Chains A and B, each alone.
Chain A
């Protein structure tokens, strides 16, 4: 499945490329046989599979630099890859290019408790950073669901989020400095150990750039003091609208919860038999609302949260009484994706963000679409920041189901844009949502993105066919949309 990866083909002399790369890499760092490369043919978006021309596994920044210099000289595309847990195909290989896995760059270079920072290589796992910081009472705050496996380099490339973003921010808020390589092999430092580095905020630009601007070789992250205590309120509602109102009321009361998550009935029913989280299965929606801080702070805030949620007409409220119970309440939410995976051969995870006030409307629309396409859909929702993850269940072995699931997902994301939101909150555009960029951006804006990209990579060699569609693709998309709109308007 080449899709937009075939939009531009590159003429690369594979034999020559192998010869040049062999000269700078140990034998074990270059894979050229099909069976060796097969494990690298996709990331978390398994519906898109593509063999690269070659796979390189540099063991140092110098080797990564040598690879880029050669690829740049020979005009061969380069696709960086971390742990490949991404869900949008950001690390899908390019058929004419070298897939560069940064998995071997996995050293934690320094953890400094006094400055509350850690310097790590890109292949270090998200959770390993918190593990290394734990002896000092510190942790790395962003916690994407894949945090056991996903790596910091990928987190920066995707600007990864998690369930605690409302209070603690996204990756972009927790990274101080990124050291990387341009496609030409120049070493550059974006940001610094000091705040407000001079010049344009290229560090912010790198976050979420999906490997299209530079290859990351080292990251300085900010560490956060671990709160003394955390407690979670779990509330059930007999109507999703009431749950949505409760979210708005919590914010209106001046509370910024450490986490604020919602799950619909289909999601709780998927999760409960899998992890026994103790969720109320009668509820149409449940809300998880967390407070953290000093014991005094938490007691005060939990009291305020409880009062607001009660006034919002919750059918039931419980507060975690100990750490084990708190983790159990969260385990259900964190296991939502694999739990849904047990109910269906395949599922697509959508990632739209909408203004919170449109939530109930969105869930009703998703229910209607579920009937229209004849596919089930469970919803988990980062309610605090409006980020919705509908999980569309399908069976790839049934003819037409994947296409129906994709069309269902596209309609949800189109609706997200119409509601004033975005097609992707934290999973990235990749190859999966690249055409939907035309839904959210005008041709001149798409063109500005291409010019911005060229400022870093004039020959378009870093991760081509991802993130931003060609102008020709955008025109096709808009014409096709106009055609289908006028067709459906006919009686």
Chain B
């Protein structure tokens, strides 16, 4: 173990022995997400660098403090990328934070999420032990799939040190279309198109306008343009639009009203809870404002869940950030937390108050 990790392990053991709490921080770009940070700051963003990258293996391994922007630049040199389009929310965003938050961009419904691409991790657990799980190969069922378990765990299970990810070649061709549509019709069409072999890689509906992105072989993109018959967007306009959704720079996300993220079955009807932006073919819906209890109940009624994505600390504390879990599941969560972090030192309350 190198000196830095020795030092970290020492601090972890000290915290574990003395009732300490640690607030793990990579780049800090997503510190707004989840419950409030508490505990002594534990900065890990300097542990950075790409450890291995073999483009023909479609695998990259990077230390957790590696800036996502730096990783993307290295992949782009070889015509590859992380196809789930993780949002950065700031230039300091790191690979470890990406895994810990588990967020994905507009391409998620077509390509999957972080959890679908993580192959291996190294982490420091609550005893200060360095553990490696998974590996650098695509198919691997030796041992429980801890790497995917860490996606979205918000640092509550350990300090992520190193991450191996599957990467993919960028599509040969892309284009975006725009169509006028009301909400009901947009949801209907998105779900119908989803059942056909069309190269739709992203979708967004807001305020009567449905925008689609097509990605794939040039011939397939051109053929789908004809089938879907919308207004073709200028490439620069389209790129800026999808980027504004991924990074929440779109006008919908401006202002201080609480931002709710609803994960719903894509076929769920409009919930009528106020101004809405729909992504992922209907599976992700953003809301501004509204009453927490009503939003959570409406989401649960159609088989989904609601996350208080951005809000002030008071509202977050009152409403909780994530949809509450049924007791049998909550018990497994507490037990897992106990398994990896027996003294409960990592990011307390970041996911649920009792984790």
Chain A positions within 8 Å of B, measured between CB atoms, are 112-116, 136-138, 158-159, 161, 165-166, 169-170, 172-173, 182, 186-189, 192-202, 204-205, 207-209, 213, 225-228, 248-249, 251-252, 254-256, 293-294, 296-297, 299-301, 353-357, 382, 384-387, 420-429, 433, 437, 440-442, 444-445, 448-449, 451-456, 458, 467-468
Instruction: Flag if A251 contacts B144 (CB, 8 Å).
Output: no
Q: Which residues in window 84-107 of B have CB below 8 A to A?
A: 102, 104
Q: Does B11 contact A (CB under 8 A)?
A: no
Q: Which residues in window 155-207 of B have CB below 8 A to A?
A: 157, 168-170, 172, 191-192, 194-199
Q: Does B349 contact A (CB under 8 A)?
A: no
Which chain A residues lie closer than 8 Å to B137 at the CB level? 353-355, 385-387, 420-422, 425
Which chain B residues lie closer than 8 Å to A192 at the CB level? 263, 303-305
Instruction: Flag if B216 contacts A297 (CB, 8 Å).
Output: yes
| Residue of A198, A199, A227, A437 touching B142 (CB-CB under 8 A) | A437
| Residue of B139, B264, B333 touching A194 (CB-CB under 8 A) | B264
Instruction: Flag if B142 contacts A423 (CB, 8 Å).
Output: yes
Interface size for B (C-beta < 8 A) is: 85
Instruction: Flag if B143 contacts A114 (CB, 8 Å).
Output: no
Which chain A residues lie closer than 8 Å to B267 at the CB level? 112, 114-115
Q: Does B289 contact A (CB under 8 A)?
A: no
Determine how close the nearest CB of chain B comes to the CB of A23; give it in whole angstroms: 25
Closest to A161 in B: B139
Asked whether A201 and B115 contact (CB < 8 A) given A192-B303, A251-B56, A296-B219, the answer is yes
Determine how close the nearest CB of chain A comes to the CB of B58; give it in whole angstroms: 6
Instruction: Flag if B144 contacts A452 (CB, 8 Å).
Output: yes
Instruction: Flag if A254 contacts B144 (CB, 8 Å).
Output: no
Most buried by B among A195, A225, A440, A453: A195
Complex CA gap A170/B336 in Å reads 25
Instruction: Flag if B113 contacts A251 (CB, 8 Å).
Output: no
Determine how close the nearest CB of chain A comes to the CB of B315; give it in whole angstroms: 17
Asked whether A449 and B144 contact (CB < 8 A) given A114-B191, A198-B323, the answer is yes
21 A-B residue pairings within 8 Å (CB atoms) = A115-B265, A158-B141, A165-B138, A173-B116, A192-B263, A195-B109, A196-B152, A199-B322, A199-B352, A204-B149, A205-B146, A251-B57, A296-B223, A299-B219, A300-B217, A356-B57, A357-B57, A387-B139, A440-B142, A449-B143, A452-B336
Complex CA gap A158/B142 in Å reads 10
Which chain B residues lie closer than 8 Å to A201 at the CB level? 102, 115, 148-149, 151-153
| Residue of B104, B139, B191, B219 touching A170 (CB-CB under 8 A) | B139
Which chain A residues lie closer than 8 Å to B223 at the CB level? 294, 296-297
Instruction: Flag if B172 contacts A114 (CB, 8 Å).
Output: no
Determine, out of B42-50, B127-135, B233-241, the stretch whose residues face the partner at the interface: B127-135
Q: Does B140 contact A (CB under 8 A)?
A: yes
Closest 10 CB pairs of A and B: A296-B219, A204-B148, A455-B335, A254-B169, A425-B139, A385-B138, A451-B339, A297-B220, A194-B304, A248-B56
Which chain B residues lie closer than 8 Å to A297 at the CB level? 199, 216-217, 219-220, 223
Which chain A residues lie closer than 8 Å to B14 at the CB level? none
Closest to A291 in B: B217
Complex CA gap A426/B139 in Å reads 6
Complex CA gap A193/B264 in Å reads 7
Which chain A residues lie closer than 8 Å to B347 at the CB level? none
Determine how close the nearest CB of chain A comes to the CB of B128; give it in whole angstroms: 10
Instruction: Flag if A293 contacts B216 (CB, 8 Å).
Output: yes
Closest to B216 in A: A297
Which chain B residues lie closer than 8 Å to A429 at the CB level? 141-143
Complex CA gap A254/B336 in Å reads 39
Q: Does B294 contact A (CB under 8 A)?
A: no
Which chain B residues lie closer than 8 Å to A294 at the CB level? 197, 219-220, 223
Determine, out of B15-23, B24-32, B251-259, B324-332, the stretch whose residues face the partner at the interface: B324-332
Asked whether A300 and B218 contact (CB < 8 A) given A137-B195, A445-B143, A452-B339, the answer is yes
Complex CA gap A442/B351 in Å reads 30
Closest to B227 in A: A294
Which chain B residues lie closer than 8 Å to A293 at the CB level? 197, 199, 216-217, 220
Determine how close the nearest CB of chain A comes to the CB of B12; give it in whole angstroms: 14
Determine how close the nearest CB of chain A comes to the CB of B298; give it in whole angstroms: 13
Complex CA gap A204/B149 in Å reads 6
Instruction: Flag if B195 contacts A225 (CB, 8 Å).
Output: yes
Instruction: Flag if B143 contacts A252 (CB, 8 Å).
Output: no
Instruction: Flag if A199 contacts B325 (CB, 8 Å).
Output: yes
